[in-house]
A = this chain, B = another copy of it.
Amino acid sequence: MPEEQETRGGRATAEMVAALAQVSRVAVSRAFNPHASLKADKRERILRVARELNYTPDRAARALVSGRTHLIGVIVPDVYSYWESQEIDALTTALQNEGFATLLFKTRTDYSMDEQLLAYMRGFNPDSVIAFVENVKPVTLTRFLDRAVPIYVDYPMAGAPAEPEHGPLYDRLNILQHSGIDQAVALLQGYGARRIAYLSGHGKSRASAAREATLRQVLEERGFQPPILAPGDFGYETAYQATIDLFRVRGGADGVFAANDVSAFGALDALRHELGLRVPGDVKVVGFDDIAQSHWKSYNLTTVKFDLHERVRALVRLILRRLNDPQAESLVETLDTRLVVRGTVG
């Protein structure tokens, strides 16, 4: 075995590897840079010595000269929100496979996206930033980032003109909600539902607003009245209360669209355990997202599916494309949605 020449429990450096492999330090650098020219046997020898010394190029030093940290900033209000947590999970795996790492940041739970956090994140100099925060404008985001081009998840309306906005540069993941919602409404129509309610997310959420708008559009297209609105906040508790209020005070509904699956769970529990109604017998319930819990027996929820892995792949594609071409115009990826039929409509 090679002489243990680690200094004080610290990492091995390229210099040490070079010394042991009888090459120059630059050769070591090149050995770890695949497209650098280096004779094959030399590279092999270097890599072997590197493995023996447990050497890896220091990412800090590398970042200093290359300007790439290989860190992807992820901003979330709640890690434990179901959808977010599952997306972070899949995203982390995907990024890991591409040589990046997820750098996690939390905003306040009241969605007050303070500039302080952005400045803080900026200090870590991430290569890219994904914000799972709905009320922050891209403008705000770009103002606090130097190299990173933020990615923004958008929900364009069917038929609406593409935003000609040519302000700050950001990339976009467009999610088309019309298909899934239309399938859901068609299904409810088939079962004779007439009064449709929308249990919203919190007020500032663009996702919730887009879902509401699209639902309204689809209902109109299919000859329904506009949806009855019940105010929620994406959470279980609020959905529970809002549903009770909707049915005790405001006349109820035949079908309830909840802004996400968790709200749907709250609505379901309120309907069944508090209001004594049968689902889907008396009321149909439809959620959004299709999180893993939606097929648990207690809920077995019919829901508009956002394909998680497809979505993560699209995000990673955006990141890679942007890093390959930092000067590119605004990049766009588009995803569709579809209805997953389970036991809460029927």
Q: Which residues of A contact B (CB under 8 A)?
A: 9-11, 54, 56-61, 63-64, 67, 69-71, 78-80, 82, 85-86, 88-89, 92-93, 96, 101-106, 117, 119-125, 144, 146-147, 236, 240, 265, 269-270, 273-274, 292-293, 296-298
Contacts and interface: CB of A to CB of B under 8 A. Distances in A.
Given A79-B79, A236-B296, A11 B146 contact: yes
B104 A102 contact: yes
Nearest to A144: B54
A146 to B, nearest CB: 5
Most buried by B among A57, A123, A147: A123
B92 A106 contact: yes
Nearest to A293: B236
Contacts of A96: 105-106, 117, 120
A105 B92 contact: yes
A51 B146 CA distance: 15
A80 B10 contact: no
A60 B69 contact: yes
Contacts of A265: 296, 298
A201 to B, nearest CB: 18
22 contacts: A56-B123, A59-B125, A60-B64, A60-B125, A61-B64, A79-B86, A79-B92, A80-B86, A80-B88, A80-B89, A80-B292, A92-B105, A93-B106, A101-B104, A102-B104, A102-B105, A104-B104, A236-B293, A265-B298, A269-B297, A269-B298, A298-B298
A321 to B, nearest CB: 18
A60 B122 CA distance: 12
Most buried by B among A58, A104, A269: A104
Most buried by B among A63, A86, A124, A240: A124
Contacts of A117: 96
A56 B228 CA distance: 49
B292 A273 contact: no
A103 B57 CA distance: 18
Contacts of A101: 103-105, 121, 124
Given A11-B125, A274-B297, A88 B60 contact: no
Nearest to A297: B269
A106 B124 contact: no
A80 B146 CA distance: 31
Contacts of A124: 59, 70-71, 101
Contacts of A103: 71, 101-104
A57 B106 contact: no
